[in-house]
Chains A and B, each alone.
Chain A
Amino acid sequence: EKWAVTRTKYPATTLALQNFDATYSVQLGQLWPSVRAALLSERKYGALLNNYCHDDVQAELQAKGCKDFPTDKEIEVQPCLEQEPEVAGEEESCRVSVEKSDPDAQQLPPLQLSPNIKCLVFPRGDITRFKPARPDMFGCLGYYLMDAASVLPCLALNVQEGHNVLDLCAAPGGKTLALLQTKSIGFLCVNDTSVSRTSRLRKVLQSYVPKPFLSEGKLRITSFDGTKWGEIERNTFDRVLVDVPCTTDRHSLMEDDNNIFSKNRTGERRRLPQLQLALLLAGIEAACPGGEILYSTCTLSQVQNLSVVEQAIHTAREDHGIHLQVVDLRPLAHMFRKTFQFAPNLPLGVMVVPHIAANFGPIYMCKLRRLA
C-alpha cells in the first residue's frame, strides 16, 4: 500500500534529533541533555493578553495562578549593565564581542522595552494548560496562546509612540499581534512571502483587533519576498522585526508533516542561513538611520543565529556602507531570568533555552542599531 512505499527508513523527526544531537551537544555541552529532554516534552504556552478585548481576562487568569511575566521582573542592577556594547562597524574583524572599558557606560539609560505588552504564564514547574480563549461581546478574543519567549523579541524591539514598524516575516502573526498591543505604532507593515500564511495572519488579526485599528492608514499586509525589501523601501522604518524562517527545532522534533529535515527538503534546509542573511540585510536596509532591527529565530543553531548576525554586520558595512551597533540584550535576559532559562555566555545576542520546568523557547534574538 502507499503508506509502506512512501515510508522512509528514518522519519524526519528522527533525522532532526540526530542532527541536533550532533551539533548541539558540541554547542551547548553539559546543558544539552537537559535541553533535549525539555524539547521532547510538552511545551509551555503564554497567554498574550489582548488589550482590545473588553473582558477582564487578566484578573481571571491571575486568579488561576498566572503572572504577567513582563511586569514580574528582577530589577536589581547586575554587573553586565556596566558593559558598553561595542560599535561593530568600527572593528576590523567581523567577530563581534562586547567591550567592557567605557567609563560612561553606567550612565546609559537602562534597556527600554515596548510598552503595554502583557503575557501571562503559569509559574515555573506548573504544568497547567490554558483553555482556549473566549470572545468578548464584540467577538474579540481575550488572549492569544503562543510561546511566551516569542514575546521577548517584541518587548526588546522597544517600539515608541508614532513609530513606523516593519514586520518582515510575520505569519502566522503572533509577534505582529504582540506589537499591536503596544498601541503606540504609527504605521505597521506586515509582510510574509507565503500567501496562504498571510491570509491566516489576516484572520488572526481580525479575531483580535477591532477594524478601525486595522485600517489602511495604520496597517498594510503584503506577501512580498522579504529579501527584496531593500530594493523597495529603503531607510524607512524606525523598527524592523526580522523573525526569519529557521529549522524551528521544537516543531522539527515533534511533527513529521512539513518537516524541514525530511530528505526532500535537504537543499532548502542547507540554504536557510543564506536566506536568513538576505532577510536580515533587507531588514537592515529597510531601517532608517538610527532605527533598530531585531533578528530572531526559534532554533538553537549557531549557524542560523550568531553566524548570520556576524555576517550581516560585516556585509552591511562592506557592501552597503551601513554601520551597525549591537545593542546589549543581556540586561533583558537578567530581568526575565525568573521566567526563562537563558543560555550562558553567548558572545552575541541572547537565547532562551528550554528547561522542563520553564519549557519555553528556543528563541534567539539579537538587536542592531543603524548608525546615522
Chain B
Amino acid sequence: PLQPTLHDRELNPLSRQPVTELSLPSLVDMGFTDSQAEQMYEATSKLRGTSTSKHALSTLTALFVLGLNPSSVQKILEKCPELYTVTESQFQQRIGNMRKLGLVEGSLQRVVSHYPQILTVPVKTVKNVVLFLKEKCLFTFQQVTDLLRDSPAVVLEDRGQLEYKFQYVYFRMGIKQAEMVKSRLFRYTLEEVRCRHCFLERRGLYQTPDKKGQTMIINPKLDSILHFDQDTFLTNVANASAEEYEVFQRLMAREWLEEEQLQGNIEAD
C-alpha cells in the first residue's frame, strides 16, 4: 500500500483540511512522537477502508478531551484496540454516565488508563451493574463510585459470579460493605477469596460471626487476607507452610469441581 510520508505532506498542504482518516502526519500533529505515530498507524492499518475507520479519529479526540497525554493514549489503545470502533456519541454517553456515577476528573482518567475496556461497555450494562450493587448488595452511592474506581472490571464480571462472591463474603465471612470496598474485594477472583478464607477457617483462624456479629477469636481483616502475596499471606496471616497451602489449593479445586458437577446433575434431574 502507498505509504504517506512527510514528503507527501509538504507537497500537499491542503491535507490539513478536515481529516477523516488517520494518517501519519495527523498523528504527529496530535503530539505523538514519530515512532508512536508509526506504531499507531500500523495498528490501525487493519481498519483502514472499513466503516469503523472513521471512528478512530473520534476515539483519539475523546481520549485527548479527557486530558490524557499522547503516551497514555497510545498505551490505552495498545491495551484495548477495541476502542477504535467506538463511536463519538457512544463515547459521549459512556463518559457522561461515568461522570454521573461520581467518577470525576482524576478518577476518570485513572479508571480509563487502568481499565480502558470500560469505554467499550454499553451504558445500559453499566447501569445494570450499578443497580445490582445498590439494590441487591446495598452499597451506597459513594461506595459504588469507589468500587468502580478501584475495580472497574466489575462492570464486565459475570453476574452470577459477582453475586456469589458478594454473598460469600457477606454471609460466610460476615463482612460489611464498607470493608469490602476498602479491601478492594472485587479485584480478586472468587477462587482466591474462597481458598484463602477456607484455609484460615480450617486452621481455626477465621470464624463466621454469629447473629450479633460476634466471634470467639479475632478474625484477620479482609484486607490482610487478600492483599498480600502468597508467601507473606502464609507467614503473616495463615502461619502455614507453602507445601500445606499448595496441597490445600489442589484439594479445594477438586472439591469445588465435584460440587459443581453434583449441582449440575441435580439440575439435570
The finding on whether chains A and B are genuine partners in a shared complex, rather than unrelated, reads yes
A45 to chain B, nearest CB (A): 14
A131 to chain B, nearest CB (A): 16
Question: For the complex, is A139 an interface residue (Cβ under 8 Å from B)?
Answer: no
In the bound complex, residues from chain A placing their C-beta under 8 Å from that of B205 are 33
In the bound complex, residues from chain B placing their C-beta under 8 Å from that of A127 are 247, 250-251, 254
In the bound complex, residues from chain A placing their C-beta under 8 Å from that of B247 are 125, 127, 356-357
In angstroms, Cα B199 to Cα A36, docked, is: 10
In angstroms, Cα B250 to Cα A356, docked, is: 11
Q: A125-B246, A356-B247, A357-B243 are in contact. Are A37 and B202 (CB under 8 A)?
A: yes
Q: Is the interface of B mostly helix, strand, loop or mixed?
A: helix
Question: For the complex, is B140 an interface residue (Cβ under 8 Å from A)?
Answer: no
In angstroms, Cα B248 to Cα A357, docked, is: 8
In angstroms, Cα B239 to Cα A37, docked, is: 12
B154 to chain A, nearest CB (A): 31
Please report which residues of chain B, range 153-207, place their CB below 8 angstroms from some CB of chain A when the two chains form the complex. Answer: 199, 202-205
Question: Is there an interface contact between B203 and A41, defined as CB atoms closer than 8 Å?
Answer: no
A253 to chain B, nearest CB (A): 10
| Interface magnitude class on chain A | 10 to 19
Question: Is there an interface contact between A36 and B204, defined as CB atoms closer than 8 Å?
Answer: yes
In the bound complex, residues from chain B placing their C-beta under 8 Å from that of A357 are 243-244, 247
In the bound complex, residues from chain B placing their C-beta under 8 Å from that of A90 are none
CB-nearest residue of chain A to B244: A356
Among A25, A33, A356, A357, the one with the most B-chain Cβ atoms within 10 Å of its Cβ is A356
Question: Is there an interface contact between B204 and A356, defined as CB atoms closer than 8 Å?
Answer: no
Question: For the complex, is B240 an interface residue (Cβ under 8 Å from A)?
Answer: yes
Among B202, B243, B247, B255, the one with the most A-chain Cβ atoms within 10 Å of its Cβ is B247
Mark contacts of A31-54 with chain B using CB atoms, 8 A cut-off: 1 yes-contact digit, 0 otherwise.
011101100111000000000000
B142 to chain A, nearest CB (A): 38
Q: Kindly list 9 other residue pairs between chains A and B, CB separation below 8 angstroms, not including A36-B202, A42-B254.
A: A21-B204, A33-B204, A37-B202, A37-B203, A37-B240, A41-B251, A127-B247, A127-B254, A355-B244
Can you list 12 A-B contacts with CB-CB less than 8 angstroms, sorted by A residue number? A21-B204, A33-B205, A33-B239, A34-B244, A36-B202, A36-B204, A41-B251, A42-B251, A42-B254, A127-B250, A127-B251, A357-B247
Q: Which 7 A-B pairs have the closest CB atoms?
A: A33-B203, A37-B202, A40-B202, A37-B203, A357-B247, A356-B247, A36-B204
Q: Which residues of A contact B (CB under 8 A)?
A: 21, 25, 32-34, 36-37, 40-42, 125, 127, 355-357
Q: Which residues of B contact A (CB under 8 A)?
A: 199, 202-205, 239-240, 243-244, 246-248, 250-251, 254-255
